[in-house]
Structures are given as structure tokens and as C-alpha cells.
Amino acid sequence: MALSMPSYAYRVPNCRLRHVVKRGETLTKIAKKHNTSASKIKKLNKLRNKNILPAGKIICLNNEVKKCPNSYTVKKGDTLSLLAKANGMEPPYDSALEIASKNGVTNANRIEVGDKICFEEPKKEEPKKEEPVVAAVPIVIAVAPAPVEERDHFGFFVTPFLSFGKVDFVDNTTGTRGSVLSKTNFGLELKFMQFLTESFSSEFIATIEQRSFKTKTTRTFGDHGGQMLNIGVGIAYNPIERMELKAKLMYGDEYYFRMPSTTSLAMDPTKAFKTDISASYDLFRSTSKKYITGIGAGLRMLSGEHVTASDGTAYKANFGYGYFGSFYVRQKFKHIMLEESFVYEDIRKDTELFNQTLANMYLRMGILFLF
């Protein structure tokens, strides 16, 4: 995924002056340094967002074609020193620097096949290929332009997971308190991702989870739970290189606890909207970005619908809220990424009949296919 050499943001035809973006540079700083405008550079290089300018990208600052009575197209094997000598310019090395300055070449030791070079002096003959025998004259062979970085456009994330939780609840009518432990539950998350730009991505998500609980007392369940199916969409934004901000909206199954009697518990299924707003940060990245470790945190809001239980009990599910945190480890390959993560969530869900708090832990192991 990472490159060891600069790449073009956009290959501008007939570019007269190029610039390699350095870390921390902005279009405004570059434009001021080269006596031009940020909007002109943005338009010339077809940049979508002038605020997003990765280090190492090559941009063109000027492609204005001036009238040149004596123009030459660079061929493989040419150097500025050889061109200067063939056009009667002495000494070759100082003349190469002069040619580079007048033609907008940022590095006199590197010219590219296809570049146009303008000479003020009459051209005498085309340069002949010579062996670099003079130690004082730097000879650098012209190379083809660096390849443009390949960017993945889509991703498919498959994440199986295990979960374990506890529910504490209070009956608003009688004041009775209780708690319930979950069994070891399991589920699967499927996620289709589209990488819109280097900073924005969208996703469609579907999850299915087995949710069942057991009591610490002699009470029995009216309903032991079942499968929870949720679908939703999300959008992610990277304001800086190591950070990701995400918003997600899900809709699907949710369970609420109640106490039909002092010796029994019931789990009532209903539908609910769930909204997550979260942020994550990569604490560690290897030089090649192959290994990444980071943390995340977020807030959740839950809005349940009116509940009608199987025994005819009806009640209103109020607004719920909570928080969650995560720790993740990722391994990146060319078109595959593995992710292992631990997630803890604490969600409060209230109804007309009772208040309850769900504490859940997830162990997730996913694989992302990039294409």
C-alpha cells in the first residue's frame, strides 16, 4: 500500500515546473513561495480538496508554453550536461544548472523522457550518448515517470465475534432489583465499504447475533432470547493520517428485560434505532504501515419502539444511551487486512416499567478484502 518514491497527484501535460510536496506544506504556502495562486495550482492539478495534500505527491506549478525557437524533446540516455555540451555551452555542469533554472527543472540531475527543453543558443547537433568518464560531471540517466499510486476503491469486511454480558435492572413499580448474566453469545458482522476519496469512505452493514441470558437466582425466563438482526449505514472521515471519525445508524432487533412476577424474568423483543458516533486513533504504526495498533471510543443513542410482549403486556421503550471503547490490532497485506479487537460497551435502556443497564464485552476477529 505504501510507496518508496514520490508519485504524481495528476500528470499535467507540458509541465514547466514541478514540486514535491513536503510534510506540513499547504497549497497556500507553495503558491506564495513560487509567486502563484493556490486556486491556479488546484485547477491545474485537478485537486478535489486543496486542504488534503499528502506528503510525497508531485504537483505541477506551471505549464505555460512559451515560444521557443530551439526546442528539444528529452530521449532515454540524455542528461542536461550532455545537452549543454552538444549546444556549445561551456562548462557543461554550470551550463546544466543554467538550463535547469530557465526550464523549471527542480533537480538538474534528473530529467524525464518526453520533457521539452528550450535553448537560447542555436542548436548545433543532437547529443551523442557517452560513457560517464569525467568524475567532475554528474551523469544521471533519464528515467520514466514514477507510477501513480494504486488506490483501493471497495472493501468487504467479514467479522465473526463472541460476546458476554450482564444486565442490572430495577422494577419501577415495586423497586425490586435484579441482575442477569448472559451465556457466551456469538454473531457475525458483514460490511461492504466504498472508499470515496483518500479521506472519506461509506459502508453498508448487516449484523446477526444470538442473544441469550441465564439468571444467578432461581428465577426462570418467560423467553430466553433469540437472534438479533440489524442493518445500517455509516460514513467515516480521516481528518489527519492516524485518526478516523465515524457516524453509524443501525435499525433492527433489541431485547428488554422485565419481571412478570417476583419469581420470573422475561425478555421482550422489539425494534430500535441505534446511532453511534465514534473516533479511533492508531497508537503504533510500523514503517511500512503493515502492523497497526490503536484505540477507539464512542457514544451510542438508542430509541426503542412500543413493546407488546407475548403475554399481552404492553409498555413504551424510552430513549437509551451509553458509551463503548475498543482496542484493536491490524495486519495489512497487499489486498487483505486482518483485524483483532476487544470492545466493551455500557448501555442504559429505560422503559415505563423498569430501568436497566447492559454491560457487554466483545471479542472480534475480522478479515477485510480490498479491491
- Window from 30-44, 71-85, 101-115, 228-242 with minimum mean pLDDT: 101-115
Measure the CA–CA gap between 39 and 51, rounded to whole angstroms. Answer: 11
Report the percent of the chain where pLDDT is more than 90. Answer: 31
Mean pLDDT calculated for residue range 72-95: 79
Residue 146 has a pLDDT of 54
What is d(CA 299, CA 277) in angstroms, rounded to the nearest whole number? 5
pLDDT in tens, 21-77: 888 888 888 888 888 888 888 888 888 776 777 888 888 887 776 667 677 888 888
Which residues, other chains included, contact 327 with Cβ-Cβ below 8 Å and sequence gap of 6+?
294, 295, 296, 341, 342
Nearest to 276 by CA among 250, 302, 248, 253: 248
User: pLDDT value at position 324?
Assistant: 96
Q: Is 60 exceeded by the pLDDT of residue 2?
A: no
Domains, the chain, ordered by start: 1-65 (3.10.350.10), 66-149 (3.10.350), 154-370 (2.40.128.100)
Give how far the C-alpha of residue 115 lies from the chain's centroid of Cα atoms, to the nearest Å: 35
Mean pLDDT rounded to a whole number for the chain: 81
- Cβ-proximal residues to 134 (8 Å cutoff; 6+ apart), any chain: none
Residue 360 CA to residue 270 CA, distance in Å, equals 19
pTM (predicted TM-score):
0.57
